[in-house]
Amino acid sequence: MRLPAVLHTLSLVLLLFAGSMLVPLAFSWAYADGAQAVYAKAMGITLLAGAALWAATHRAGRELQVRDGFLLVALVWTVLPAFATLPLLLQLRDLSFTDAYFEAVSGLTASGATVLSGLDRLPPSLNIWRGFMIWLGGMGVIVLAVAILPLLGVGGSQLFKAETPTPMKDTKLTPRIAETAKGLWLVYFGLTAACLLAYRWAGMNWLDAAMHAFTTLGLGGFSTHDASYAHWNSPRIEAVAIVFMLLAAINFATHFLAWHRRSLRLYRVDPEAKVFLGVVVASILGIAAFLAWKGVYPDYATALRYAAFNVVSIATTTGYANTDYNLWPIFAPLWMLFLCSFASCSGSTGSGMKMIRAQILFKQVFRELLRIIHPRVYNPVKLGGQPIENNVVFAVLAYVFVYVSCIIIFTLLLALSGADVVTAFSAAVASINNTGPGLAQVGPASTYAVLNDFQTWVCSFAMLLGRLELFTLLVVLTPAFWRK
């Protein structure tokens, strides 16, 4: 463990993060919303802190070991939100630090749960900052998922490396992490730009289009309107959102390779993408039928529109809403919450336990069943035609056990501090999966402001834990990690 080296790297990240505040500053200036000074101040503080940390640690070696990676990742995702609160705290005087930190964590983990209301009246630049946090978070998540986690081997995430699970030959994107990150970011930038233009074409103004392009690609559900997508009530805008949410929930390495080789075949070969799309489409059709049958909507077409948007939004862990689905018969929103816990692909900006782990788990079950019938059978778990080693399967099993335990513990903690059972459970699930809205009191028509301080901290921690794939954060909290 080399704490100084880790802190040194962190200081560089902080300095970069300070630079990112130029974005809301520019918007503030362009829209003349009078908040320029706030961003200048926040940027100054962040720069100062970063520079101080840099000065204190620059003598330390720069060599990081694999183990230091855990600490660095954990620190980045806990320290940056603290600085990200500055533009919020400096503008919204009655916002507590607890709530501001929650909002910032929700942004940087690309969750989209908010404690703020009256979004339509916030300065445009502040909404941009909220959206931009999600977009930055998404950028971090992509690199985390594709380049860093496989290196650390968290919870079977060796598989996330684009080169292992598919039968494609030489799918290693590029030989170096830095090059890989650049390639993936290029795809991310490209899709964001495309999304921005599509939103504008569908009828949003430039500001809304920018903010929503950021939050759509990051798969965090912040909006500039309290009513979220119901504000526009436009099927065209919803269709654009659905397309880009689905794209952002597919492995970016697959996008990169498909673009690099100019071939759509890769999406068929990707073992996750087809199952993800299949599950989502089947859920949409099923829920629409269910809603039409229950008489929530007068006809199937309307039911299909609402089902499609909200199912995609929740399943991809985004968290937009174009209606208060909390009012639907409980089966539909529960199914959507169930989807969000596993549907997103690895290497996407979505969260949850990831489709790849769900597939391995599912196949492991059938493997055990087959073994009962044929005791001597050799049937490895296979993904995309490639066998998966047993130790990876065990890592996935442990991961899922911890994941389920966390949901239970967080539900109990929230219930202990006074939340009703649906609120507690849905808040725990929505937080750990970085989805955003839950049900009942934290439903899409409401905000997380109803939670007390303790509950807010629990949810903040749950979002961090879920975003960092549980083990990355948990390992830093074990004593063995700190032993020399």
Partner 1 sequence: MKVIILGAGQVGASVAESLVSEQNDITVVDVEPARLRALQDRLDLRTVAGSAAHPSVLMEAGIEDADLLIAVTQSDETNLVACKLAARMFNVPRRIARIRATEFLDDPKVLGPDGFDVDLSICPEQVLTEYIVKLVEFPEALQVLDFAGGRVSLVAVRAYQGGPMVGRPVKEIRGHIPNIDTRIVAIFRRDGAVLPDGDTVIEDGDEVFCLAASNNIRQVMKELRRMDQPVKRVMIAGGGNIGLRLARALEADYSVRLIEHSKRRCEALAAKLDRALVLNGDATDEELLGQENIAEMDLFVAVTNDDENNIMSCLLAKKMGARRVVALINRRSYVDLLQSGQIDIAISPAQATIGKLLAHVRRGDVVAVHSLRRGAAEALEAVVHGDRESCRLTGRRVEEINLPAGATIGAVVRAGEVLMAHHDTRIEAEDHVIVFVTDKKTLPRVEKLFQVGARFL
Compute the least distance from the CB of residue 258 to partner 1, in Å.
23
Q: Which stretch binds partner 1 (CB under 8 A): 3-11, 134-142, 228-236, 378-386?
A: 378-386
Compute the least distance from the CB of residue 365 to partner 1, in Å.
17
Compute the least distance from the CB of residue 390 to partner 1, in Å.
11
- Single out the residue of 32, 330, 377, 412 in contact with partner 1 (rule: CB under 8 A): 377
Residue 329 or 385: which CB sits closer to partner 1?
385
- Whether 88 and 128 have beta carbons less than 8 Å apart is answered as no
387 is a contact residue toward partner 1 (CB under 8 A): yes
Q: Which stretch binds partner 1 (CB under 8 A): 266-274, 355-363, 383-391, 425-433?
A: 383-391
- Single out the residue of 41, 51, 382, 398 in contact with partner 1 (rule: CB under 8 A): 382
DSSP-based three-state secondary structure for 437 = coil
169 is a contact residue toward partner 1 (CB under 8 A): no
Residue 93 or 378: which CB sits closer to partner 1?
378
Residue 2 or 367: which CB sits closer to partner 1?
367
Q: Which stretch binds partner 1 (CB under 8 A): 190-198, 238-246, 264-272, 377-385?
A: 377-385
Compute the least distance from the CB of residue 379 to partner 1, in Å.
6
Residue 233 or 390: which CB sits closer to partner 1?
390
Rounded CA-CA distance 443/450 in Å is 11
Of residues 123, 126, 74, 139, the one with CA closest to residue 100: 126
Q: Which stretch binds partner 1 (CB under 8 A): 189-197, 264-272, 376-384, 451-459?
A: 376-384
Compute the least distance from the CB of residue 380 to partner 1, in Å.
5
Calculate ∠ Cα 132-176-388, nearest 5°: 95
Residue 303 or 388: which CB sits closer to partner 1?
388
59 is a contact residue toward partner 1 (CB under 8 A): no
- Single out the residue of 117, 233, 263, 379 in contact with partner 1 (rule: CB under 8 A): 379
Contacts of 331 (CB under 8 A, 6+ apart): 290
Q: Which amino acid is at 444?
A: P
Compute the least distance from the CB of residue 69 to partner 1, in Å.
31
Compute the least distance from the CB of residue 376 to partner 1, in Å.
5
Residue 257 or 383: which CB sits closer to partner 1?
383
Rounded CA-CA distance 422/412 in Å is 11
Rounded CA-CA distance 181/176 in Å is 9
Residue 372 or 480: which CB sits closer to partner 1?
372
Three-state secondary structure string covering 147-193: HHHHHHCHHHHHHHCCCCCCCCCCCCCCCCHHHHHHHHHHHHHHHHH
Residue 203 or 385: which CB sits closer to partner 1?
385
376 is a contact residue toward partner 1 (CB under 8 A): yes
Report CA dihedral (411, 412, 418, 424) to the nearest 10 degrees: 10
- Whether 68 and 6 have beta carbons less than 8 Å apart is answered as yes
Residue 190 or 380: which CB sits closer to partner 1?
380
Residues 331-370 that bind partner 1 (CB under 8 A): 370
380 is a contact residue toward partner 1 (CB under 8 A): yes
- Single out the residue of 295, 378, 479, 480 in contact with partner 1 (rule: CB under 8 A): 378
* Other CB atoms within 10 A of residue 361 CB: 17
Rounded CA-CA distance 255/185 in Å is 11
DSSP string, 58-103: TTS--PPPHHHHHHHHHHHHHHHHHHHHHHHHHH-TT--HHHHHHH
Compute the least distance from the CB of residue 276 to partner 1, in Å.
21
- Number of shown-chain residues binding partner 1 (CB under 8 A): 12
Q: Provide the 8-state DSSP code for 299.
A: S
Rounded CA-CA distance 410/413 in Å is 5
Of residues 224, 226, 227, the one with CA closest to residue 215: 224
DSSP-based three-state secondary structure for 375 = coil
Calculate ∠ Cα 427-432-437, nearest 5°: 40
Enumerate binding residues for partner 1 (CB under 8 A).
Answer: 370, 374-380, 382, 385-387
